[in-house]
Amino acid sequence: NWEKEFIAENNRISLKINDPHKKETKSSSVSILSDDYQRIIVDKRNTVDELKGKLAEKFKLDVNNFLLRRGNARGVEIKDSTMTISGAHLFNGTTVHIEIGKPSRPGEYRLIFLLCEYADDDEDIISYNYTELFELPCDQDMKISDLKPILCKRAKEEKDLDLDPQLIRIGEKSGERLGRICKDGQKLRKMNLYDRKTIAIQRLSQPETLSADSVIVLVKCFDTIRWTLSNFQEIVVDRNEVLDYFAERLEEKFGIPKAHIEATRTVAVYSFSKLDLLEQQWYKVHNSSYKLTDGPWYLSVDGVMFIIRDNRVKIRALTNKEKQDMSGDNWKSVSPLHYGSSHSHYRYERPKERALKINVKKREKDGEKNGDENDNSNGNGSGSGNGNGKAKDESTENDDERIIEPIC
């Protein structure tokens, strides 16, 4: 029947498909096929399941042992196999990438898990080393407490890495730092999941119990005479507690009487310099009824760095050479992050202020201006009636040159 054939032809599309048996050359951000894609003709009214069946037959694959990505190897996984091909946003000429592995189900996300460790190579900042472990599809409704044993088992199988579910914490990788820590009772969906999101696994020296209101802060102690910072200490606080409670925890960790502790919060843990302490505002934490979530710190996330000092010892003034040694280029950077080998950070310092030069001219009086216009109308040809342009010269001589110094 020509009508059926016409409708079928109208629904046929061509898709570009890779050969999953051929090796791929992988770079840091893309995956490049060794050969060109092949083309297959399909009916866009068919389901993704039917497309997978056709591909399994063509490439001799188990239909339950491969997944499809829209675009390329970094594209979005097509999870709902009951959708039609057009419903999965596959159109004529679209590239479909076949990847060997267990496909995700609706509600699951393929997450990349990293081992996160503190890097102890800079006195000022707190930085991290990351090692990529594996990729794992995870249900968004899974609890963190249920996920930890699965991660430990997978780390042993994939990397021969011994992890204890009681001695790890799970957190979001936020840029180059470790961000929000997920509590055991929370579900994965709290982490705003998307495919290939990086999740950090951090080893602990002892078990910890975190409530829904617990926040982990990083604290260093400032030696105001030597101008050095101590190694950081992790402190678990309750975000709803008052600052006096925070002072007790600081006294516990650093041995400074809480009545003499002053603290300041750094803007960013990865771009902090000791020179910033010259401009920081210090606050007493003893006998304060303010909450940590109130001003001046508004604490709400994990990983914030605080600097504390003993206010019985005054801050020594720095020499010019010391300031020069602590400063440097406006932007300090190292090579980009490489999983498993190094880390990177940058530090920003404001450019030096320069004086601003402004020339100011005095405004002419209305009477003089009108007089000049009358003289010109009488044919004198000068601004003051004497024919030598004296008024103009006087105006120039009265120019006022001022140097305005910056306020800093």
Mean pLDDT in residue range 359-385: 56
Residue 289 has which token pair? Answer: 């009824």
Greater confidence, 333 or 135? 135
pLDDT of 384 reads 43
pLDDT at 337 over 80: no
Three-class DSSP labels, 324-362: HHHCCCCEEECCCCCCCCCCCCEEECCCCCCCEEEEECC
Which pLDDT does position 369 carry in this prediction?
A: 53
Give pLDDT, residue 324: 86
Q: What is the pLDDT of residues 73-128, one digit of tens each?
A: 888 889 888 999 999 999 999 999 998 888 888 888 989 999 999 887 566 778 88
Kindly state the tokens that stand for 307. 């600097």
Alpha-carbon distance 402 to 359, whole Å?
6
Q: Is the pLDDT of residue 282 over 90?
A: yes
Segment among 19-28, 35-44, 244-253, 294-303 with least mean pLDDT: 19-28
User: Taking all residues of the chain, what is their mean pLDDT, rounded to a whole number?
Assistant: 80
347 has pLDDT over 60? no
Tens of pLDDT, residues 132-158:
999 899 999 999 999 999 999 999 999
DSSP output for 75-92? SEE---TTSBTTTTT--T
Convert the pLDDT of each residue in 350-363 to its tens digit.
Answer: 556 667 777 777 77
Identify the pLDDT of residue 36: 65
Task: Give yes or no for residue 399 having a pLDDT over 70.
Answer: no
- Structure confidence at residue 270 as a pLDDT band (50, 70, 90): low
